[in-house]
Amino acid sequence: MAKQKILVTGGAGFIGSHLVRLLVNKYPDYQIVNLDALTYAGNLANLTDIEQKDNYTFVKGDIVDADFLDQLFAEQNFDGVIHLAAESHVDRSITDPMSFIKTNIIGTVNLLNAARKSWGDFEGKRFYHVSTDEVYGTLGETGLFTEETSYDPRSPYSASKASSDHLVRAYHHTYGMPIVISNCSNNYGPFQFPEKLLPLFINNIKHNKALPVYGDGKYTRDWLWVEDHATAIDVIYHEGKNGDTYNIGGHNEWKNIDIINLMIKIVDEQLGRPEGTSQKLITYVKDRAGHDRRYAIDATKVKDELGWMPSLQMEEGLTRTVKWYLENSEWMDNVTSGNYQQYYEQMYADRV
Ligand code: NAD
Ligand code: TYD
């Protein structure tokens, strides 16, 4: 691989930290610059094992600040951008859509503009936008999202990601910027902020707190081990076709209540509690507004064209995930102190 300087945005978040770790360790000749605003979801504790590496630099900054980005791009000669920085939680997008518009849409355009201004004729450059399958909307009992599925976003989060996908494609068609986009299903694994289903429930089971299951619990998600997402991004960044979109998924659909039951079993087992102890914590609560019923990805294209496939089965991945959260209680205690308590109170007070 030719030497490269890559800007990863959102590298202190959940998926970003796994990607930065992979790139820093796999490509010692590359320079990896991690730009992150360190919002509630960004945490440098996710990167302690690589922070001293020579090929890694952290820059604190906000992608909503266009002047800051222009200056950064003028100073650094980036060969590529892998853009993950975003507001990422659907429930927060329902209570505060504007912060999603700012970061996910305006922030993405600011990045595209900064890259365009500094990249001249685009020779050897690449802008990779990391996106979600939620842009496709919701599925019924059958069918899968393919790269040809029409966009039909239904939450402020997915609408903001759809909008940023469109803008990235527009910069490709209008200005000739080399781009690639991937739309991935739900990720799980270490370092995920405990607002998302799995880490929130693992933490609640540990503390014997209610497990707030939205609606009838039969909503379906297609789960992917986060390190598999990072390897997919690596392959697509290096080998994906200019201008193309790739769907990434685990071929691993679960109804929420089924994955919750499996998780309760694994957590109880690892805590040495008798089987079924934490079943009583399941609490059906008021549904999420506009809750998408089912997501499921057809990941044939990335497999056939680039040879990528998920590596881990769910039971193994979930066992590793639970083990990580239980062994890293300091990480969990740190991120659930302070503002998290207020968030939890606001989000769940009238639900549970
Ligand atoms: P996350 O919320 O854990 O991390 C987001 C990161 O972006 C944080 O480090 C945060 O500090 C940073 N950030 C937020 N606003 C910023 C700003 N204005 N300027 C600079 N940095 C900012 O999110 P995640 O789950 O790691 O998701 C990363 C990306 O992958 C997002 O674009 C998301 O839409 C996409 N995605 C996530 C999933 C999933 O299951 N989590 C699935 C598919 C796609
Ligand atoms: P989430 O982790 O928020 O991911 P997304 O909404 O992006 O798919 O939620 C996953 C599923 O779990 C979704 O169907 C909503 C449901 N859910 C609950 O039932 N209770 C909760 O407290 C949370 C956070 C999610």
Q: What is the CATH number of the domain that holds 176?
A: 3.40.50.720
The DSSP element (H or E) to which 186 belongs, if any, is strand 186-188
pLDDT for the residue 351: 84
Residue 41 pLDDT more than 70?
Answer: yes
Q: Decide: 193 in ligand 1 pocket, CB within 6 A.
A: yes
This prediction's pTM:
0.98
Considering only CA atoms, which of 209, 336, 341 is closest in space to residue 283?
Answer: 209
Q: What DSSP line would sit under 50-85, residue for residue?
A: TTT-TTEEEEE--TT-HHHHHHHHHHS--SEEEE--
Domain count, the chain: 1
305 located within any domain: no
Q: Decide: 84 in ligand 1 pocket, CB within 6 A.
A: yes
Selecting among 87, 133, 147, 292, the annotated active-site residue is: 133
133 is catalytic: yes
Give the chain's end-to-end CA distance (angstroms, integer). Answer: 52
Phi/psi at 174 (nearest 5 deg)? Answer: -80, -45
User: How does the average pLDDT of the chain come out, rounded?
Assistant: 97
Q: What type of residue is 281?
A: L
Mean pLDDT of 334-342: 93
Under DSSP, the state recorded for 105 is I
Instruction: Report yes or no: 179 and 168 within 8 Å, Cβ to Cβ.
Output: yes
269 is catalytic: no
Edge-first strand listing for the sheet containing 80-83: 56-60, 31-36, 5-9, 80-83, 126-132, 179-184, 245-248
The DSSP element (H or E) to which 114 belongs, if any, is helix 107-118
pLDDT for the residue 1: 65
Q: Decide: 63 in ligand 1 pocket, CB within 6 A.
A: yes
333 located within any domain: no
267 located within any domain: no
202 located within any domain: no
326 located within any domain: no
304 located within any domain: no
Instruction: Report yes or no: 169 and 179 within 8 Å, Cβ to Cβ.
Output: yes
Residue 352 pLDDT more than 80?
Answer: no
Whole-number Å distance between alpha carbons of 72 and 70:
6
Under DSSP, the state recorded for 135 is G
Mean pLDDT of 302-327: 97
Give me the domain span that covers residue 82. Answer: 5-188+225-248
Mean pLDDT of 31-55: 97
120 located within any domain: yes
Over the stretch 235-284, which tens digit does the pLDDT of each residue have? Answer: 999 999 999 999 999 999 999 999 999 999 999 999 999 999 999 999 99
Mean pLDDT of 142-162: 98
Pocket of ligand 2 (CB under 6 A): 90, 186, 196-197, 200, 212-214, 219, 221, 256, 288
Mean pLDDT of 137-143: 96
pLDDT for the residue 338: 87
43 located within any domain: yes
At which residue do the structure tokens 């992917």 appear?
224
Task: Provide CB contacts within 8 A for 106, sequence distance 6+.
Answer: 64
